[in-house]
Amino acid sequence: MLLAAIASSAGEPSAEDKAAAKDAYIAGMELRNAGKPAEALAKFRKAYALLPTPITGLAVGRALEDLGNLVEARTVYRAVVKLPPKPNESSEAVTAREQAVKRAKDVAARIAKVRLKLEGLPDTATPVVFVDNLRLADGEADDFIELDPGKHTIAVTFAGRTKSTSVAVSAGETMTTTISFADGESGAFEAQPADKSATSKMTTATNPLTYWGIGFAVGGFVGGFASYFGWVAPERGKLETCRKNASDCREIEDTWSLNKNVFYGHVVVGTAGAALAVVGFMMPIAVKPTPTSTATLSLGPGWVGVKGTF
């Protein structure tokens, strides 16, 4: 009777999916009754994936409760409640939906809440929070962090630094835990005045665009010079001679036209390179001087030795 209710309360899955869901549900019930909630959960998840009904969803939630995963169990129960009722929904499915509502409220009362207090961070900080190595969504830790009863590790990362703490919470407990980035000093991340001396020491260097531009300009103009005097001019002479003789000059014209286009291409590249060099020259880049270090070298004993500072 219950298995028929599972199938009838679903949408229109295939016959194979119905059969697989029934088998998974039966196996899950047997495993749960045998005291194997983890294995039962895997079977119930499969059944729910194939036939998302109040009955299979309730089974998933109960298995999660058995394992102490209250936060996820509540999420499943809420999803079950939101499943659209079917016109021919069985009484078993209706009962399972009602139980999901009650289970969601009961589980919510047993979920622990931890308020995370951060010290030593600027007001505009947006740290990243992890719970048991799982990253929370932005803003999820602004109010309370909801946790299953038990021990947990909360870690916070900001500006390349990570601080963590361990908490142990019981069912329904509400507590506050503090993570400090101050390291014994208040305002560890407060904005510091800009170092004007460092700014004044900044120097400028030639923009790499200048060198690229010079390279293209030289290559383009040299190539243009070579193509003009090596190909264009000689072919033009041949073409003029051919035309004077009233001969068929199409082949010579094609060759001259091709060489002329090559010449123009070189000129374009050279001109673009020259323009790029000018732009690069007019836009120098700021360079922070590399700190230099000195070392004193002494070789040899006493006054006959060699000494120098490098």
Residue where one domain finishes, among candidates 71, 90, 110? 110
Question: What's the alpha-carbon Rg for the chain, to the nearest Å?
Answer: 39
Cα dihedral: 211, 215, 217, 218 (round 10): 130
Return the pLDDT at 176.
Answer: 96
pLDDT mean over 80-100: 93
* Cα dihedral 58, 34, 7, 96 in deg (nearest 10): -30
Burial (CB < 10 A; 0-12, 13-18, 19+), residue 232, is: buried
How far is it, in rounded angstroms, from Cα 13 to Cα 21?
10
Question: Is 293 inside a domain boundary?
Answer: no
Residues 67, 54, single domain; the answer is yes
Q: For 115, phi and psi rounded to 5 degrees?
A: -90, 125
Q: Could you list the residue range(s) of the whole structural domain that residue 29 is in? A: 2-110
| CATH number, domain with residue 15 | 1.25.40.10
**What's the total number of domains in the chain?**
3
Q: Please enumerate in sequence order all residues whose Cβ is within 8 A of that of 71, keeping only pairs 6 or more positions apart, or say none.
A: 111, 146, 147, 148
Is the confidence at residue 298, as pLDDT, over 60?
no
For residue 141, which amino acid is it? A
* Dist. CA 114–CA 198, nearest whole Å: 44
In a domain, 278, yes or no: yes
Q: How far apart are CA 196 and CA 189, in angstroms?
A: 20
Residue with tokens 């505009």: 124
Same domain, 122 and 41: no
Per cent of the chain over pLDDT 70 is: 77
Structural domain includes residue 213: yes
Give residue 52's pLDDT band: very low, low, confident or very high (50, 70, 90): very high
- Does some domain include residue 129? yes
pLDDT at 43: 97
One domain for residues 137 and 48 = no
Domain end: 180, 215, 234, which one?
A: 180
- Does 198 reside within a domain? no
